[in-house]
Structure 1
Amino acid sequence: MPDVRELVVEADGGSRGNPGPAGYGAVVLDPVSGEPLAEAAEYIGVATNNVAEYKGLVAGLKAARELAPDATIRVRMDSKLVVEQMSGRWKIKHPDMKPLAAEAARVFPASQVTYEWIPRERNKHADRLANEAMDAGKRGEQWRPSTSTAALDAGARRGADAPDTGAARVVGDAAAGAAKARAALAGTAPAGEAGSRATAVTAPPGADVEPPAPAGTGAARTAPAGGDPLGDVGAAVVAGRTAPAAPPVGWAAAADLGAPATFVLLRHGETALTPEKRFSGSGGSDPDLSAVGRRQADAVAAALAARGTIQEIVTSPLARCRQTAATVAARLGLDVHVEDGLRETDFGAWEGLTFAEVRERHPEDLDAWLASPQAAPTGGESFAAVARRVAAARDRLTARHAGRTVLLVTHVTPIKTLVRLALGAPPESLFRMELSAASLSAVAYYRDGNASVRLLNDTSHLR
């Protein structure tokens, strides 16, 4: 059983570009055996190395607090900057660092935490987790524990600060110990593991095939446009299970992070295929807006002109988006820039078909597609592939338009993917969002990598 009087936290962060696509990793260790008790990692979007390192520290401290809130904590990091600043020997001058350092300082009382610098080669576990998180972000996915997580670089750790136990402990073994540690503190016996989570597919999220929302639902607003960020929700693996981590920054620090890059997400107006609910992606015909779609574009242009907040316009290369964007641009007096990463999914052999026709003609294709984001229609593109290119486009655009409000004119799948990634939601959430033609959604991206979903499927301008 782990010694719950003391825990070791090792944390790291990295940025491929500084600033660039960034991620953090953290591990909580038993100080005697060196076994891992909890891990945390997250892709945080475009950020600097120092921001990523601080976010890794916060995640590691919070994972340790969940295990043993009364324990003393020994933090070990290879970032001299973070160690010296958190130890109080160096001043924190950079505005990006101050809210993160304050967040880290609030997790435990200062008397319970000490900081120690270690060489990079002794921080391999946290470094590996950070790189796994960045790799996941590059694929447009959230970090999940991999099979490599099961075994530590135990030789290096034992040689440094723990006795040789004869074999590396795997996370599964450590999980049982961590559960016992929490139970000992609470005075209860460890509970059994929860059952597997079931999922249900309600309807496909493809292009112009848009399912009706469940009864009683409508446009969802998670925060008022112009409101405070919600903070990112990372993934922490504690005792072998995935649980949400507390927001590392949250609304209270938003003012310190500067103006976000805000993407106002506009789905194009109707085409002839939209009311027939036919798959209309990037691999078939490229339909123009219908008369209804042109009226919708006029209506959204008027609404955006009245708001007066749009500073740039970026569009998918497909005709229905370019026409919608041109209508808005003419009203706002702005130029239109094309981003290929915002194009719709290529639905391959399904292009132009209804869902029922796909079920009849390509049943195996459809079953696989509904079951896995890795599956693609024959000759088409998987949602996993779409997520990768949408995430890459997002990173390019947030870096290019920091502090500005940008209208992205695009399609169902790219908009749902941006919302899903901002929320850290699983791929199956694509099937659980309604997105009407010419609807508006909005996501704000802050400099620390946090994302705030501010609006979803607003069609009030069409009434």
Structure 2
Amino acid sequence: MTAGTIVLLRHARTAYNAGLRLQGQIDIPLDEVGRWQAEQGATALAASHKASSVVASDLERARDTAAAYARQVGLEVVTDPALRERSFGIWEGMTDAEIAERWPDEHAVWRSGGEPPVAGVESKDAVARRMEESVLRHAEALGAGDTLVVVSHGSAITQAITRMLGLDPATWRGLHGMHNVHWSHLRASPPGVVPGWRLVAHNVGAGYPLDTWQSGPEARQ
């Protein structure tokens, strides 16, 4: 058995997101805009998908985003460290410009879609494998009429979807990165159909213009 629907939701904004700093597995809380995004996104997601189970990365920004949605649907959040963001090792906490200045060759490899040989940087394939294993393990506890909502992180979600669609996370770059508190919706394929999951929607949000969404509620005044 498996859930018929999986929704993968990216966490809300943090100060590192606002400052364009690479977060990776640093445990950063939501900022004020992020807390607003989490509530608005939770309402929008609950109107479209009522989860049977909500699981989240154990990092605070994902847990708190998941909690906002879980309150809407009357569930508790289950945390799983396997749903953490991709590790970026010694690059974590830095801006793109800082990385490019200190590691110009490795930065060029990264930005071209390659795997930079930098201490602690997790490969896309490794991220995809641990994410897929975790998502499917939680999905297998549910039935065909159920929905699993997974709250995780931008790069981790992209790699997971790519692998679940039967594509190579190391080389295929056909998905646009996800905005904060936006989600992707996958449906289980019929038995025997490859790949086992189909992408129904990607990078769906609460319906605000992107500049308003990124700036927060004061942008509407």
Q: TM-score, normalised by structure 1?
A: 0.41
Secondary structure of the equivalent of 1:380?
Answer: coil
Counterpart selection for 2:156 from 414, 429, 443: 414
1:2-401 equivalence runs, <5 A:
260-282=3-25, 284=26, 286-307=27-48, 309-370=50-111, 374-401=115-142
1:403-458, Cα deviation, whole Å (9 max, x unpaired) = 22011000011211122123333433347513111111111224446211011011
Identity of aligned residues (%): 32
- Equivalent AA in structure 1 for residue 128 of structure 2: A
- 5+ residue gaps, structure 2: 210-221
Larger radius of gyration: 1
Secondary structure of the equivalent of 2:18?
Answer: coil
Flag the 1:330–1:389 CA change in 2: closer, same or farther, 3 A: same
Instruction: Report the equivalent of 1:459.
Output: 205
Flag the 1:364–1:402 CA change in 2: closer, same or farther, 3 A: farther
Flag the 1:444–1:364 CA change in 2: closer, same or farther, 3 A: same
Give the whole-Å Cα distance in 2 for the aligned partners of 1:437 and 1:385.
Answer: 23
- Residues 127, 160 of structure 2: 8 Å contact kept: no
Instruction: Report the equivalent of 2:166.
Output: 424
- The reply on whether 1:436 has 2:179 as its aligned counterpart is yes
Give the whole-Å Cα distance in 1 for the aligned partners of 2:206 and 2:172.
Answer: 24
Secondary structure of the equivalent of 1:292?
Answer: helix
Flag the 1:293–1:369 CA change in 2: closer, same or farther, 3 A: same
Secondary structure of the equivalent of 2:29?
Answer: coil
Instruction: Report the equivalent of 1:83.
Output: none
The one of the two structures with greater contact order (alpha-carbon pairs below 8 A, sep at least 6) is 2
Give the whole-Å Cα distance in 2 for the aligned partners of 1:312 and 1:430.
Answer: 29
Give the whole-Å Cα distance in 2 for the aligned partners of 1:308 and 1:350.
Answer: 36
Flag the 1:431–1:276 CA change in 2: closer, same or farther, 3 A: farther
Give the whole-Å Cα distance in 1 for the aligned partners of 2:51 and 2:136.
Answer: 19
Flag the 1:383–1:373 CA change in 2: closer, same or farther, 3 A: farther
Flag the 1:306–1:372 CA change in 2: closer, same or farther, 3 A: closer
Give the whole-Å Cα distance in 1 for the aligned partners of 2:49 and 2:205.
Answer: 18
1:217-245, Cα deviation, whole Å (9 max, x unpaired) = xxxxxxxxxxxxxxxxxxxxxxxxxxxxx
- Equivalent AA in structure 2 for residue 407 of structure 1: V
Flag the 1:391–1:308 CA change in 2: closer, same or farther, 3 A: closer
- Equivalent AA in structure 1 for residue 181 of structure 2: A
Secondary structure of the equivalent of 2:17?
Answer: coil
- Residues 12, 38 of structure 2: 8 Å contact kept: yes
Flag the 1:379–1:421 CA change in 2: closer, same or farther, 3 A: closer
Give 1:271 deviation, angstroms. Answer: 0.2
- Residues 443, 454 of structure 1: 8 Å contact kept: yes
Flag the 1:341–1:402 CA change in 2: closer, same or farther, 3 A: farther
Q: CA RMSD in A?
A: 2.3
Flag the 1:462–1:294 CA change in 2: closer, same or farther, 3 A: farther
- Residues 158, 175 of structure 2: 8 Å contact kept: no
- 5+ residue gaps, structure 1: 1-18, 20-258
